[in-house]
């Protein structure tokens, strides 16, 4: 297991877990962003759950459940592609760096998990 894989995956776990917690807590910035891109507040628990599941799957991948880590990373890649697409559809570009960064981390985690 390479140091790069561990570092990138841990960063992905922390940021994805953090935004999942913000979804569950209905943080003010989450509510504002979801309203702006047209995502109903009723979807926040589901979205937070998917993010949390991805973070837990990545952690389990680090702990030796390789296939689960790969699946979790792949799921997060798909999730954040969807998030970027929702921002594009709503023409909300000024904060595209957030879903773009999450997507980049998920892609890096996926690529590094596969290479292990």
Going by C-beta distance under 8 Å and a sequence separation of 6 or more, which residues neighbour residue 73?
Answer: 9, 12, 54, 57, 58, 61, 106, 109, 110, 113
pLDDT at 48: 97
Interval 66-107: pLDDT, tens:
999 999 999 999 999 999 999 999 999 999 999 999 999 999
| pLDDT at residue number 1 | 80
What is the band of 110 on the pLDDT scale with cuts at 50, 70, 90?
Answer: very high
| Residue 20 φ then ψ, to 5° | -65, -45
Q: What is the pLDDT of residue 50?
A: 98
CB-based contact 116:64 (threshold 8 Å): no
Return the pLDDT at 19: 97
| Digit-coded pLDDT (tens) for 5-63 | 999 999 999 999 999 999 999 999 999 999 999 999 999 999 999 999 999 999 999 99
Question: What DSSP assignment string belongs to 13-24?
Answer: HHHHHHHHHHHH
**pLDDT in the model for residue 49:** 98
Task: Decide: 61 and 70 in contact? Cβ < 8 Å.
Answer: yes
Angstrom CA distances, 105 to 38, 55, 77, 111, stand at 24, 12, 9, 10
pLDDT of 115: 94
């Amino acid at each position: 297991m390479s140091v790069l894989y561990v570092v990138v995956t841990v960063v992905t776990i922390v940021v994805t877990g953090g935004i999942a917690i913000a979804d569950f807590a209905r943080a003010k910035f989450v509510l504002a962003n979801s309203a702006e891109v047209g995502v109903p507040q009723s979807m926040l628990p589901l979205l937070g759950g998917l993010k949390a599941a991805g973070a837990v799957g990545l952690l389990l991948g680090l702990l030796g459940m390789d296939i689960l880590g790969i699946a979790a990373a792949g799921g997060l890649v798909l999730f954040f592609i969807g998030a970027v697409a929702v921002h594009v559809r709503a023409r909300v570009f000024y904060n595209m760096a957030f879903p773009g960064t999450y997507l980049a981390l998920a892609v890096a985690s996926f690529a590094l998990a596969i290479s292990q």
